[in-house]
């Protein structure tokens, strides 16, 4: 079993900052990890992939967070999301995710955390 646990969410004012962290535990083959990252889902909006960092350190972001958010890693199974200059539009539940890919005929698995609430409001 693989378990992902997020932390760092909370209530902040517009322009504030939060740092989300995620640690994975359990049975996982770290050499199969394609990327780690963060999804978010706000009420009334569809889920979107916010940021990812690949096993090679390549980062990707949705346009709305570029220049404000930074995804990073400090261990094989730990990922963080530094969120600066937060806006009300960033309010959502943020989910940590790990994608693993294994086999010559790729076998893809996505693992999800329970989510952490980020609320940006004055």
Q: Could you read off the pLDDT of 75-100 as tens digits, one per residue?
A: 778 999 999 999 999 999 999 999 99
What was the pLDDT predicted at 40? 98
Strands 18-26, 107-112: pairing kind: unpaired
Q: What values do phi and psi take at 10, rounded to 5?
A: 165, -165
Question: Cβ neighbours of residue 9 under 8 Å, at least 6 residues apart?
Answer: 18, 20, 94, 116, 117, 118
Give the separation between CA 95 and CA 48, rounded to whole angstroms: 10
pLDDT score recorded for residue 110: 93
- Summarize the confidence of residues 95-118 as an average pLDDT: 92
- Given a cut of 90, is residue 19 above it in pLDDT? yes
Q: Is the pLDDT of residue 104 over 80?
A: no
Centre a 10 Å sphere on the Cβ of residue 49 and count the other Cβ atoms it contains: 15
> Rounded to whole angstroms, how far apart are CA atoms 31 and 44?
37
């Amino acid at each position: 079993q693989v378990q992902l646990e997020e932390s760092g969410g909370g209530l902040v004012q517009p322009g504030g900052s939060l740092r989300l962290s995620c640690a994975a535990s359990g049975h996982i083959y770290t050499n199969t990890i394609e990327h780690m990252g963060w999804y978010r889902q706000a009420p009334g909006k569809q889920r979107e992939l916010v940021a990812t960092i690949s096993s090679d350190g390549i980062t990707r972001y949705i346009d709305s967070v570029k220049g404000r958010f930074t995804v990073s890693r400090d261990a094989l199974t730990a990922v963080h999301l530094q969120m600066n200059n937060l806006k009300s539009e960033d309010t959502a539940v943020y989910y940590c995710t790990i994608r693993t890919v294994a086999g010559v005929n790729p076998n893809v698995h996505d693992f999800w955390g329970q989510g952490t609430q980020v609320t940006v409001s004055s």
